[in-house]
Chain A
Amino acid sequence: MATVVLKDINKIYPNGFQAVYDTNIEIQDKEFVILVGPSGCGKSTTLRMLAGLEEITSGDLYIDDKRVNDIHPKDRDIAMVFQNYALYPHMTVHDNMAFGLKMRKTPKDIIEKQVKEAAQILHIESLLDRKPKQLSGGQRQRVALGRAIVRHPKVFLFDEPLSNLDAKLRVTMRAEISRLHTKLQSTMVYVTHDQTEAMTMGDRIVVMKDGFIQQIDTPMELYNKPNNMFVAGFIGTPPMNFHPVELSGDKLTGPGIDLAPTSEQLAKLKEYGSKNIVFGVRPEDVEFVENPKNWINAVIEVVEPLGSEIILHVRLDSDTNMVVKSDPMQQFTVNQKVKMGVKIEKCKFFDANDKVDATGKSENPCII
């Protein structure tokens, strides 16, 4: 098992496009770190640089304190699970799993033992003689996992491994990979664009956008204390609602919004000084109660009952929209006028203006 350190890593392609900017990540031994972000944010490029499949333009990459920038992928002692499984179609499941060991000239009896062990862990013993085309998507992904674990590598890398599976199977495999991490106690780096995967699986999450790291934190810290508007909007389903407001006196006012922040919030907002503020409220921080202290008037446009909760798409007086969650026991109808209580102490406030730092990265920082 191993630690992985990325120090000031940059990736610039020959055409001049910079995919990753000054990336610094320290991954502890046995840690499960998720790289998450929208398409083109540089997460896969970062993972591929870690694997050695992509050259590092500048910076240092260490695996177990050893600089590996110029070390061939096969000598980094890593294993990678690809989005499209990347199984060798002409080999059986057994041979797919044994191939890496065979190339490393592992004795035959040890290969057999390790393949058998890996197959048992992933419940694919009965599939060993089949070829990939005879397997379902889920089975193929298990084989891809098997091919990775059979070598007992120092670090596991996952490049969106569940993207090609259907929603139900994705949930099963998500748990399977988490169990695998607990069982193998190895360092894992996992790339996904799905924030649910990131939140449910990772010890720590690295949120990326446009090649920059936005925040590195535990799932709950990311949820509760986002660094900026992007992180706040990316983490959580449905995403946080944002509305521009202005601080006038002790009130936050905006189109259809008139809120009284807590004294602590007010102090911080005044201290920050900016009048143009974006107010962020998560769908779950809205409540439908009698006489709420802070409220927003809205009209329900869509009702989505999910059983455990109801998702409501509402329109505010200002003609802007919001998505909120409600208790499943409450009754709602389309076009119903509602008074939505806002749990103001849980709301976030962001600078409405982008702050551009020295590297050219812009963001709407979280004030409180």
Chain B
Amino acid sequence: MKNKPTKTGYFSKGFFSKNSLTAFCFLIVPLAVYTIFVIYPILQAVWFSMFKWNGLGPMNNFIGVDNFFKIFSDPVFRIAIGNNFKIVFLSLFFQLPLALFIALIIARKFRGAVVYRAIFFLPYILSEVIAGVLWSFIYNPQYGIQNTALTDIIPFLADFPFLSSPSTVFYSIFFVMIWKYFGLHMVLYIAGLQNIPQEIEEAARLDGVNWWQMNRYIILPLLKPTIYLSVFFSIVGSFQTFDIVWAMGKGEPVHAAETMVTYMYKFGFQRFQLGYGSAVAIVIFIITLGVGMFYQKITASKDI
């Protein structure tokens, strides 16, 4: 028998379907909040970026996209963007593998495992500024613990001004970033590892794998969703690096540790070039969004 079209059939699909309308009703409030606090400021920043404006007085100096040309012709911004990509690269190749390695060891049940987890996670709950100040003291060439310790181990590095030398400031700060954030990734990996059924590991043991093969063929493939998430957090976080760098020397000396956000902050809130600062913010937003979306696209297509 042929199915007769129902009266409600027309509205059963698309925007006017009952489900969509119900969903829309529930979303009105969050959408309004999102629009006011996220969409509107972004659009406002886009608008500001087209002016030469110090944040005070009327905006009457419309310059179109000149700010954007200026950003990309500024060698300091090129250093900053380079540093951000360096942070992404180093995080992916040093920070995350370290977090994964430690997670693989302490995810197992053994006496004191929880204590180790807490110790490694502790730096993450510390405020970025406090961590920055703390490590500035540690790195201090006169009375820092780092230098005192190095006096005995590597004497020629004793009294070395880690944060004042352009050749070492970036890596010294990056070391602090590893110390600060690897705990978060470690916890993510531990959560992922604990989701892997014990029986699968046992089956693999009976199949004859050693520690390396277990991780290579079983654990890492099953941990892929967590690794993808951790990499995503790392990429997005790297592009937004600010607090630690600021607390440990404001990206100086000679912009050696400059990042895109410190660059934006300097122009927006120190030099009061709000139009230019907004343009930098837009560029950071587009880069982060672009890289984030590209990453989501390539990882979403993977069959996990």
Chain A residues within CB distance 8 Å of chain B: 51-53, 72-74, 78-80, 82-84, 86-90, 99-100, 103-104, 131, 147
Question: Chain B contact residues: over half helix, strand or loop, or mixed?
Answer: helix
Pairwise interchain contact B208-A86, C-beta atoms closer than 8 A = no
A90 contacts which chain B residues (CB < 8 A)? 221-222, 224, 304
Give 10 nearest A-B pairs by CB, closest first: A74-B208, A100-B207, A86-B199, A86-B203, A103-B208, A90-B221, A82-B199, A73-B206, A73-B205, A86-B200
Which one of B200, B205, B217, B224 lies within 8 Å of A74 (CB-CB)? B205
Instruction: Give the size range of B's interface with the partner.
Output: 10 to 19
Inter-chain CA distance A149–B224, complex, in Å, is 30
Pairwise interchain contact A74-B199, C-beta atoms closer than 8 A = no
Given A90-B221, A90-B304, decide whether A84 and B206 contact each other with a Cβ distance below 8 A. no
Pairwise interchain contact B208-A100, C-beta atoms closer than 8 A = yes
Which one of A87, A89, A104 lies within 8 Å of B208 (CB-CB)? A104
Pairwise interchain contact B202-A53, C-beta atoms closer than 8 A = yes
A86 contacts which chain B residues (CB < 8 A)? 197, 199-200, 202-203
Chain B residues within CB distance 8 Å of chain A: 197, 199-200, 202-209, 213, 217-218, 221-222, 224, 303-304
Give the one of B206, B209, B213, B304 with max A CB within 10 A: B206
B221 contacts which chain A residues (CB < 8 A)? 88, 90
Inter-chain CA distance A83–B202, complex, in Å, is 12
**Closest CB of chain B to A317's CB: distance in Å?**
52
B207 contacts which chain A residues (CB < 8 A)? 74, 99-100, 103, 147
A131 contacts which chain B residues (CB < 8 A)? 303
Pairwise interchain contact A80-B203, C-beta atoms closer than 8 A = yes
**Closest CB of chain A to B303's CB: distance in Å?**
8
B206 contacts which chain A residues (CB < 8 A)? 51-53, 73-74, 78-80, 100
Inter-chain CA distance A182–B69, complex, in Å, is 80
Inter-chain CA distance A83–B198, complex, in Å, is 12
A147 contacts which chain B residues (CB < 8 A)? 203, 207
**Closest CB of chain B to A75's CB: distance in Å?**
8
A84 contacts which chain B residues (CB < 8 A)? 197, 199
Which one of A52, A79, A80, A88 lies within 8 Å of B200 (CB-CB)? A88
A72-B205, A99-B204 are known contacts; what are 7 more A-B pairs with Cβ within 8 Å? A51-B202, A53-B206, A86-B197, A87-B200, A87-B203, A99-B207, A103-B209
**Closest CB of chain B to A355's CB: distance in Å?**
38
Given A99-B217, A103-B213, decide whether A82 and B208 contact each other with a Cβ distance below 8 A. no
Pairwise interchain contact B203-A82, C-beta atoms closer than 8 A = yes
Inter-chain CA distance A84–B197, complex, in Å, is 9
**Closest CB of chain A to B105's CB: distance in Å?**
20
**Closest CB of chain B to A188's CB: distance in Å?**
15
B213 contacts which chain A residues (CB < 8 A)? 103
**Closest CB of chain B to A98's CB: distance in Å?**
10
**Closest CB of chain B to A149's CB: distance in Å?**
13
Pairwise interchain contact A88-B218, C-beta atoms closer than 8 A = yes
Inter-chain CA distance A53–B202, complex, in Å, is 7
Inter-chain CA distance A87–B200, complex, in Å, is 7
A83 contacts which chain B residues (CB < 8 A)? 199
B217 contacts which chain A residues (CB < 8 A)? 99
A-B contact list, 27 entries, CB within 8 Å: A51-B206, A53-B205, A53-B206, A72-B205, A73-B205, A74-B206, A74-B209, A80-B202, A80-B206, A84-B199, A86-B199, A86-B203, A87-B200, A87-B203, A88-B203, A88-B218, A88-B221, A90-B221, A90-B304, A99-B207, A100-B206, A100-B207, A100-B208, A103-B207, A103-B213, A104-B208, A147-B203
A104 contacts which chain B residues (CB < 8 A)? 208
A73 contacts which chain B residues (CB < 8 A)? 205-206
Inter-chain CA distance A86–B204, complex, in Å, is 9
Closest to A89 in B: B222
B202 contacts which chain A residues (CB < 8 A)? 51, 53, 80, 82, 86
Inter-chain CA distance A86–B203, complex, in Å, is 6
Inter-chain CA distance A256–B301, complex, in Å, is 73
Give the one of A53, A78, A83 with max B CB within 10 A: A53
A80 contacts which chain B residues (CB < 8 A)? 202-203, 206
